[in-house]
Amino acid sequence: MLYRPGPVDENPLVYTDVEIPKPREDEVLIKISKCGVCRTDLHIVEGELPPKKLPVIPGHQVVGYVVEVGERVSNVSKGDRVGVPWLYRACGVCKYCRRGLENLCDNALFTGYSVDGGYAEYMVAPADFVHIIPSGLEDEYVAPLMCAGSIGYRSLKLTGLLDRGDGVLGLFGYGAAAHLVLQMAKKIGLTVYVFTSSPWKISKAVENGADWAGKTEESPPKPLDAAIVYAPVSSVFIEALKKVDKGGRVVLAEIYMSDIEKLPYSLLWHEREVKSVANVTRRDVREALQIASKYGVKPSVKLYRLREANEALKELKYRSPLGQLVLDTQ
């Protein structure tokens, strides 16, 4: 439970007992099995994102089993294995929701931020916003798909290369999301180059299947048809634009980025495009799960016990692991 945001060094999360929540008529009660630890959780816990609710239970990469259903629920049953992502609920009636952009809903609620999330043994969630998990995926590998995998999938989809099924994709920054996108992109037939400032991640990217990997400033073997930026640094975005070919697109997949002080028009000329990713829709999560199930896409995972949530956040902040940290709530 987070009562007051603060540096993770001060152990701001308190391990405590709370009442098991009761589902409303359109909700389900979930016994949580695993919950991924995301950098957004770190921003919430340390107060970089302004609090929406205090106290709050963080966590939005949730997988668990339905143990109780509300009286109006018909699409989910007791015993179903489900996932809960960042998007907890959208209004369904605003102009964004009507256009299929529920990720931009002004009235949306977010798991582990505006409502209690998955750093717990139980949680409630709207039945229409939970996701049935395909068989063949183990719980600890499913949890990261609720955010890192889904954001990664949406960013890949927004490049336009997913529909083409070919082309050269550049990944700038090699962390949890890029690690999953590399697997997805290779499975659908893309050539993938990875750019990172960490020497050990360069070799790791090649080991994981990248066709080439190098430092952010290096020139790749071929110009990029599209790039995805997973670093919150504007200079990395500029480097991505430099390497994208005519008519190419750069997708920005971070929540925020340092200010872009100077952007020469020549980098945008020749019909280059820039798009940002803001959250995910339910469709994104479903499709990401289907791809992971079909192709066996799996993150690297390190497990922590629930009571060790502060320690997991410290590792995320200071050691920036390549794979995903996951809390085992059992």
Give 156-170 pLDDT, tens digit per residue.
999 999 888 899 999
Q: Which residues pair with 252 in a beta bridge?
A: 229, 276
Q: Please give the Cα distance from 104 to 289 (Å, whole number).
A: 21
CA dist list (Å): 7 to 4, 17, 102, 165, 258: 10, 23, 32, 44, 21
Q: Give the CATH superfamily of 8-147+280-328.
A: Medium-chain alcohol dehydrogenases, catalytic domain (3.90.180.10)
pLDDT recorded at residue 163:
85
Low-confidence ranges of the chain (pLDDT < 70): none
The predicted pLDDT at position 25 comes to: 97
Q: How far apart are CA 264 and CA 204, in angstroms?
A: 33
- Confirm if 127 and 70 have CB atoms less than 8 A apart: yes
Q: What is the dihedral of CA 228, 232, 234, 239, to 10 degrees?
A: -40
Q: How far apart are CA 129 and CA 86, in angstroms?
A: 10
According to DSSP, the residues that pair with 198 across neighbouring strands are none
Fill in the amino acid letter for 275. Answer: K
Task: Name the superfamily (CATH) of residues 150-276.
Answer: NAD(P)-binding Rossmann-like Domain (3.40.50.720)
Specify the residue for token string 């050691």.
319
pLDDT at 75: 94
Which pairs from 196-200 meet CB under 8 Å and 24+ separation?
196/172, 198/174
| Strand pairing class (62-69; 27-37) | antiparallel
SS (H, E, C) 135-170: CCCCHHHHHHHHCHHHHHHHHHHHCCHHHHCCCEEE
Distance in angstroms (rounded) separating the CA atoms of residues 163 and 174: 23
Q: In this predicted structure, what is the pLDDT of residue 288? A: 95
**Would you state the structure tokens that stand for residue 278, as one six-digit string?**
């803001």
Q: Is the dihedral of CA 75, 77, 81, 84 positive or negative?
A: positive
3-state secondary structure of 198: coil
Report the pLDDT value the prediction gives residue 42, as an integer from 0 to 100. Answer: 94
Quote the pLDDT of residue 322. Answer: 77
The residue extents of the domains of the chain are 8-147+280-328, 150-276
179 in Cβ contact with 300 (< 8 Å): yes
pLDDT of residue 232: 86
% residues pLDDT > 90 (the chain)? 87
